[in-house]
Structure 1
């Protein structure tokens, strides 16, 4: 074992303490959300701090699931997320392949520019984005919102897929072209099938990214029958009279379940794809 990989017991303990603190920071809001979702309306405003309510109930979830508008929000969120993820992979895969295989001037700078686009929040371009989409008639449109989803996720898809393409030997491209394939045909017939695990992992992660998207549909859509789940929950409060905190919490918990389920089911493929490019020297 080299000095770089040797860890003392104190280092390991400190590392686990850091992990525990990070886990506590991220889990505390989720635990409190779960607590609110199983409370009665009267117990929401109880002053004492209790994680487990005195009278837990699942009635809030039943109320939310019986609301057809909520199910519509779930469906709209799924449609936008899947279309946005598929589009970002279709755009990002050729770009990632070009960055992986070709040598050209300003390649590193362009890669950094792609990363810089990923760092720009939609809030920064909220006003010009709305004006532009309104000018071309793509507000109040699932297609218009999906296009913006693609633009938001494409930089991440490009970076992820480039790392995966880097792990595929260049000799396979040469062999495909020797057999008569063009560069594009070699990409489609040889490289893309080999990169399928990475493509699937990228698709899954960008789907989850789209599922949590709030700003874009909030800006571009106002019709309740078109809103995805992230915006739908924001507007869900107006559906009920009186206190609805516990109902909003239940709706939020339900909206988390699809993303968590997808990640747990496909986590092996996601981790494998994310680490595939790390073995490339």
Structure 2
């Protein structure tokens, strides 16, 4: 066997180990969600339930409060993702088309900002929102989601804009079209896969957020599903562990389904700039 073939084998072996590392907790969560209350006490003694049941999912999905938490999470994530994309479009277009000084520094700065944990800004963010009177309002969470997702959206949209031939814009400029007209009527329609990918990725990122809504929203009726599950976990007993597991699965599945169904579109949008021309 050649050295290249051994390298491929080692790579796939490492990927399998890595996949198993992340898949095992998910499989254990499925096992707990399918158990009856009596089987919960068996713990790790029985990984596959003897009498698997979907009653736990039926119980949580029939709870009106749980459905409200799901709607809150979807609403905040979608609006925050939409705001991030709306803010990122002019910035990404400027970084893609306008030859200004320090353009590389701007892109690097956005990447640095993306790497900062929300935990670092929680205290000043809380005080600032309190001063503005925005605590316990969806607008505060949506605004923060938009700000946190904008750097990622700028990078993704810049890749999409780079893949569009500049000649199309030059022809439009000769015909008298302004920058705004070119952006709205040429660039955005041609970069719809990139825009959709940026929206999906920022929305999924918002869906998994916990600290921001936990700090800014205090009313139970305003919580997204991530905060609701955390508070439910604090009061869970052994007899309701299966309900918590089922709730966690329902909360995780939207993100998993989105990536599985739309992975081709997301990947193609991410590599569009790399195959330009």
User: Could you state the TM-score of these two structures normalised by the residue count of structure 1?
Assistant: 0.93
Q: Which residue is equivalent to 1:3?
A: none
Moved over 6 A (4+): 238-242
**1:48/1:170 CA distance change after superposition, 3 Å:** closer
CA distance in 2, matches of 1:7, 1:133: 58
Aligned length: 276
The match for 1:180 is: 176
1:157 aligns with 2:153: yes
Query: How far did 1:280 drift?
Result: 3.3
Summarize deviations over 1:152-192 as a string: whole Å, max 9, x none: 10000000111111111111121111111111211111111
Runs of at least 5 residues in structure 2 that lack an aligned partner in the other structure: none
Shift of 1:221: 0.4
Alignment pair present for 1:93 and 2:89: yes
What is the TM-score normalised by the length of structure 2?
0.94
Alignment correspondent of 1:273: 269
Pick the aligned partner of 1:193 from 175, 189, 192: 189
The answer as to 2:80 corresponding to 1:45 is: no
Aligned-pair RMSD on alpha carbons?
Answer: 1.8
Counterpart among 73, 76, 81 of residue 80 in structure 1: 76
Q: Offset of 1:125 from its aligned partner?
A: 1.0
CA shift in 2, pair 1:201/1:48, >3 Å: closer
Which residue of 75, 94, 106 corresponds with 1:110? 106
TM-superposition CA deviations, 1:222-280 (whole Å, max 9, x none): 11111111111112246777632211110010112222222233222112111111113
Q: Deviations over 1:30-51 (max 9, x none)?
A: 1111111112233223254432
Structure 1's 7 and 227: CA in aligned 2 closer, same or farther, altered over 3 A? farther
Query: 2:240 maps to what in 1?
Result: 244
More helix per residue: 1 or 2?
2
Deviation readout 1:37-87 (Å, 9 max, x if unpaired)? 112233223254432123322221111111111000000011001101111
SS at match of 1:34: helix
Unaligned runs of 5+ in 1: 1-5
Distance 1:276 1:132, change over 3 A: same
